[in-house]
Chain A
């Protein structure tokens, strides 16, 4: 079952047939999850837009649960599994360690996904992404998450196994590439994350069938070790893709290997502390615990992001300057291939992640400021900038290279593909900023009706809120259009697209 290798005519890399197939399978399921998450995103958006207020309350919370699970867990993690196979087997010219187990893990993840989707769509798990105890879902929901997490953990182990295989079989020389190193840090964070998932979802599953008690505060403490840390896997994977896209699109260089690798190590050591942000207004934790976990050492993880935020564009600039684009301060940027969707996605991902997601995240992570931002729309405004404008956009950008390099197909509707990052990034910028501003007025997150029509008290928001919600909806719809184009382009390319051999050479 080890299969054969093919040599990529563009990169010269030897691609193991099993790695090829596993990347394709994970990428296809990730796209399906993105489609479900995207459709539900529009439904949530049109309900939060108070002027439209599309869904009734019960459907709103159901659809919001589906949106959160598909976007934050299924789309992202299936895609990251593909990244792990690419960064290990493909980049190191190696075979995949234990391919049978890899397919079993994939099957486990798909089975878990189907179970969770079934419980959510049938109204058996209207508990939102966080599934806070004592909100109780059907036991199949928790079991599905556990199966999914076990599958992902096995893939992570296979990633490390493939690194060992590549080292033993001497498929590469010197140190592993920086992209593989970054993926390894993502895999380490994944182990930490999935261990938290097991530690909390197994007791919660037992609680759901009435076997044991789960304390609500303990649940929140451990669950966020899964909920936030899973987004840190994204960060490490996204930064790895930044380096990859920089090299593929404009020949970006790594300005200093040691600095970039040290920054990845900082993620492993300190980023898990960021989970404590979510508990900043919880009464169960003391101030000392909160301040320590969201400041001091945690800022070393922020430092890591700022290092990457410098070295990635600096590597692009140096690469361009070495190729002759050296006039003034920004010729390297002006004359970059802005029509290449891989490049434009990279640039927008860095900017949105850093300027919108990063700055707001660090600010909200301050205990005193968190008190005015917590549970308002400022929080989803922040994480839509990091996860959607940052991670998802980087994943979209690399897909335009995965289609020809791995799927061996030309990119369909290429003119649309070229404008897709502009639509998606532009929409997300408007959406995230409007959401953040509207949260500043105290508008709550995860809330079906902010007019509080049936409440015994009168709650009035500033009139600007209605305008900002409209702008938020406009931005969200533009981003959804960009997301829809991405799905159209990828699905058409993969299943109906022209093979590379028939068209232009690669």
Chain B
């Protein structure tokens, strides 16, 4: 069977982190940026939907 393979996580499993390091002291600035992108997308979509509702269903 041509083109057989095994995912990298099995052939070359991630090594152990450097000794003494632990996740409790680590920071995740990249993830924080992604979180704010998500928040912005959420705000925009939510607002647009209320705006659309106000166009379609006028009060008064």
Mark A residues whose CB is within 8 Å of B: 10, 248-251, 253-256, 309-310, 313-315, 317-319, 321-324, 329-330, 332-333, 337, 339-343, 354-355, 359-360, 362-363, 366, 368-369, 371-373, 400-401, 404-405, 410-417, 440, 492, 496-498, 500, 503-504, 506
Q: Is the CB of A342 within 8 A of B9?
A: yes
Chain B residues near A404 (CB-CB < 8 A)? 6-7, 10
12 A–B contact pairs at CB < 8 A?
Answer: A249-B8, A251-B13, A318-B23, A318-B26, A321-B26, A354-B38, A355-B41, A363-B49, A373-B49, A404-B6, A504-B6, A506-B10
**How far is A369 from B50 in the complex, measured between Cα atoms in Å?**
7
Q: Assuming the A-B contacts A254-B23, A372-B52, A496-B1, are A342 and B31 also in contact, with contact meaning beta carbons closer than 8 angstroms in the complex?
A: no
Q: Given B1, B41, B50, which contacts A492 in the complex, CB threshold below 8 Å?
A: B1
What CA separation (Å) do A199 and B21 show in the bound complex? 52
In chain B between 6 and 36, which residues have their CB closer than 8 angstroms to a CB of chain A?
6-11, 13-15, 17-18, 21, 23-24, 26-31, 33-35
Cα distance A359–B57 in the bound complex, in angstroms:
22
| Cβ-defined contact, A10 with B13, below 8 A | yes
B31-60: contact bitstring with A at CB < 8 Å (1 yes, 0 no)? 101110010011001100110110011000
Given known contacts A318-B28, A372-B52, is B7 in contact with A340 (CB within 8 Å)?
yes
Interface pair A363/B46, CB less than 8 Å apart: yes
Q: Are A332 and B5 in touch, CB under 8 angstroms?
A: no
Q: Is the CB of A323 within 8 A of B14?
A: yes
Contacts of A337 in B (CB 8 A): 8-9
Q: What's the Cα separation between A254 and B17 when bound, in Å?
A: 13
Which residues of A are found within 8 Å of B14, using beta-carbon distances? 249-251, 319, 323
CB-CB < 8 A to B29: which residues of A?
Answer: 329
Among A255, A309, A363, point to the contact of B23 (Cβ < 8 A): A255
A337 to B11, CA, bound (A): 12
Q: Whole-angstrom distance between the alpha carbons of A329 and B33 in the complex? A: 8
Residues of A within 8 A of B46 (CB): 359, 362-363
Count of CB-CB pairs between chains A and B under 8 Å: 144
The distance from the CB of B16 to the nearest CB of chain A, in whole angstroms, is 8
Shortest beta-carbon distance, A301 to chain B, in Å? 16
Interface residues of chain A: helix, strand, loop or mixed (majority): helix
Q: In the assembled complex, which residues on chain B have CB atoms less than 8 Å from the CB atom of A497?
A: 1, 4
Known: A249-B9, A313-B28. 15 other contacts (CB 8 A): A253-B17, A315-B23, A317-B30, A318-B28, A321-B26, A324-B18, A340-B8, A354-B38, A359-B46, A363-B49, A368-B50, A373-B49, A401-B10, A500-B6, A503-B6
> What residues of chain B lie closer than 8 Å to A372, measured between beta carbons?
49, 52-53, 56-57
Hey, which chain B residues are within 8 Å of A496, CB to CB? 1
Cα distance, A322 to B25, chains bound together (Å) = 10
Q: Decide: B4 and A360 in contact? CB cutoff 8 A.
A: no
Partner of B8, one of A254, A318, A339, A492: A339
Q: How far is the CA of A318 from the CA of B18 in the complex (A)?
A: 12
Known: A314-B28, A314-B31, A354-B38. A498 touches B4 (CB 8 A): yes
| Cβ contact within 8 Å between B45 and A322 | no
Which residues of B have CB within 8 Å of A410?
Answer: 4-6
Q: Which residues of chain B are within 8 angstroms of A317 by Cβ–Cβ distance?
A: 28, 30-31
Residue among B5, B15, B38 with the highest chain A CB neighbour number at 10 A: B5
Which of A323, A366, A504 is in CB contact (< 8 Å) with B15?
A323
Residue of A nearest to B2 (CB): A413
- Beta-carbon contact of A503 and B33 below 8 Å: no
Q: Beyond A404-B7, A411-B5, A414-B5, is A322–B38 a contact (Cβ under 8 Å)?
A: no
Contacts of B26 in A (CB 8 A): 253, 255, 318, 321-322
Closest residue of chain A to B26, judged by CB?
A318
Given contacts A318-B26, A371-B57, contact A400 B45 (CB under 8 A): no
Distance (whole angstroms) from the CB of A52 to the closest CB of chain B: 29
- Least CB separation from B18: chain A residue: A322
Q: Closest CB of chain A to B57's CB: distance in Å?
A: 7
B17 x A323 contact (CB < 8 A): yes
> B24 — which chain A residues lie within 8 A by C-beta?
256
The 7 A-B residue pairs with the shortest CB-CB distance in the complex, in nearest-first order: A414-B5, A251-B14, A322-B17, A410-B4, A314-B28, A318-B26, A253-B23
Q: Is the CB of A310 within 8 A of B31?
A: yes
In the assembled complex, the Cα of A369 lies from the Cα of B57 at a distance in Å of 11
- Asked whether, in the complex, the Cβ of B3 is within 8 Å of the Cβ of A368, the reply is no
Q: How far is the CA of A355 from the CA of B36 in the complex (A)?
A: 12
The smallest beta-carbon distance between A294 and chain B, in angstroms, is 14
**Nearest-CB distance from A99 to chain B (Å)?**
27
Give chain A nearest CB distance to B2 CB in angstroms. 8
Complex: chain A residue closest to B12, CB-CB: A337
A359-B41 in contact (CB<8A): yes
Residues of A within 8 A of B31 (CB): 310, 313-314, 317
